Structure 1
Amino acid sequence: MDFNASDAIPGPRTEDHLPHTAQAAVKIVIVGGFGVGKTTMVGAVSEIRPLTTEETMTQAGIGVDDNYGSDSKTATTVAMDFGRISISDKLVLYLFGTPGQERFWFLWNGLFEGALGAVVLVDTRRLEVSFDVMGRLEECGVPFVVAVNTFPDAPRYPVEELRTALDLIPEIPIVECDVRRRASSRDVLMTLMRFLHSIALSRALT
């Protein structure tokens, strides 16, 4: 999915400085396989002009990068994407999109450091690429939710079938989204924040 197809945020984007009412800033990472929509999601939802590190794809990636379902993709993230969204007057999320190609996964540990939570973007045409992503998050102790990006030509499955296929415990939320749409991407982030809140409450009661 191209960022150019994303919803435009009405009016000018805000300045880079934080709102004066902000009391807390949280780091969130957006992860997933190559071409699942991470750059698009960050770009669609960010209230500031997003920072991207996309480079034009070259012949060097042929036979190395899995571009299944992304034949029209001409650029790829080589370091990270960065954006920001205010969830409320007091809470701001800093969004870090990770590179999807396996050859850039060495960057993940640095991006995961200090992250409160993560969104795992999934393409139902190639669920298998999600296992390593979720495994890395679990190793780093980063809680996550799963967001199924609804590509037009991708098959749709009931949530419980996806949960079984991804081997997820019942507590981890799975939601559908269209990362080109700001409201849809924001709903995913709200699902993550509610999940993180429930984890915090559970820990406080034990």
Structure 2
Amino acid sequence: MDSARSDTRPPEAPPIVALKILIAGGFGVGKTTMVGAVSEIRPLRTEEHLTEAGRGVDQTAGVEQKTTTTVALDFGKITLHDQFALYLFGTPGQDRFWFFWDDIAQGALGAVVLADTRRLQDCFAAVDYFERREIPFIVAVNCFAGARRFRVEEVASALDLDPGTPVVLCDARERSSAKEVLIAVVEHASRTYAGRRGPEER
């Protein structure tokens, strides 16, 4: 495993900085999968089976094989470069759980909006949420088998992203790919916050 463990770090090493990252996006886009793929601890999951009560409420078009849904959050952790401990919070994707987002988002450094090009409209709400609250985010296109591939510029245009918002391609099932996404959001958030500070504060 390439993640650092606290009990193997030399005594003189600087303390690890804890950072909170949100993983958001539409229903069935791969949030739980990404957290599970990259977490160095056993991830906390709050999944429940879909029931008849959710029929007509949960939009399962395109993900008909999905049988469970996150009803609160997913939680995981990964250490990057022996410097940063990223605490990952996967948000629920359905509209009826959005009231929970404000609590989850408190103190977040940045966010990843996972997107499925077959259902790109499903991530509009997450994009709007983070833009309105000025939380730095990137869009990570989860490349599902059989889905049409688009250039990142096309995705950015379709989502009407603000200039400078990164779009990356990924496979949420692969640890290395998910890790690159997290590195990208930390770097983007660092640049964003540095740009908001005045020269005398840098």
Conserved in 2, the CA contact under 8 Å of 1:19 and 1:89? no
Give the conservation status (yes or no) of the 8 Å contact 1:46–1:85: yes
Question: Aligned partners of 2:7, 2:102: CA distance in 1, in Å?
Answer: 26
Please state whether the residue corresponding to 1:96 is helix, strand or coil.
strand
- 1:87 paired with 2:75, answer no
> Match of 1:52, SS?
coil
Letter of the aligned partner of 1:139 in structure 2? R
Corresponding residue of 2:132: 139
1:93-172 alignment to 2 at 5 Å? Answer: 93-172=86-165
Q: Which runs of 5+ in 1 are unaligned?
A: 1-9
- The answer as to whether partners of 1:54 and 1:77 remain within 8 angstroms in 2 is yes
Do residues 58 (structure 1) and 51 (structure 2) align? yes
AA paired with 1:57? L
Deviation, structure 1 residue 136: 1.1
Distance 1:134 1:98 in 2: 13
Number of residue pairs the alignment of both structures matches: 195
Q: In 2, distance between residues paired with 1:58 and 1:14? A: 41
Q: Give the residue type in structure 2 aligned to 1:101.
A: Q
Offset of residue 14 of structure 1? 9.1
Aligned with 2:168 (options 170, 175, 181): 175
Q: Check if 1:68 corresponds to 2:61.
A: yes
**1:37-56 maps to which residues of 2 (within 5 A)?**
37-56=30-49
Match of 1:77 in 2: 70
C-alpha displacement of 1:139: 2.2
What is the deviation of 1:158?
A: 1.4
Match of 2:194 among 180, 195, 201: 201
> Contact 1:14 / 1:47 at 8 angstroms: preserved in 2?
no
Counterpart secondary structure, 2:56? coil
Could you state the TM-score of these two structures normalised by the residue count of structure 2? 0.90
Task: Write the letter of the residue equivalent to 1:171.
Answer: G
User: For residue 54 of structure 2, what is the amino acid of its counterpart?
Assistant: G
- Secondary structure of 1:186 counterpart: helix
- Tell me, what secondary structure is at the counterpart of 2:35? helix
- After TM superposition, the structure 1 stretch with the greater mean CA deviation from structure 2, 23-32 or 136-145, is 136-145
- CA distance in 1 between counterparts of 2:7 and 2:121 reads 39
Q: 1:205 to 1:163 in 2, by over 3 A?
A: same
Report sequence identity in percent.
Answer: 52
* Aligned-residue offset at 1:199: 1.5
Give the stretch that moved more between structures: 137-146 or 91-100.
Answer: 137-146
Amino acid at match of 2:142: N
Q: Residue type matched to 1:197 in 2? A: S
**Corresponding position: 1:191 with 2:184:** yes
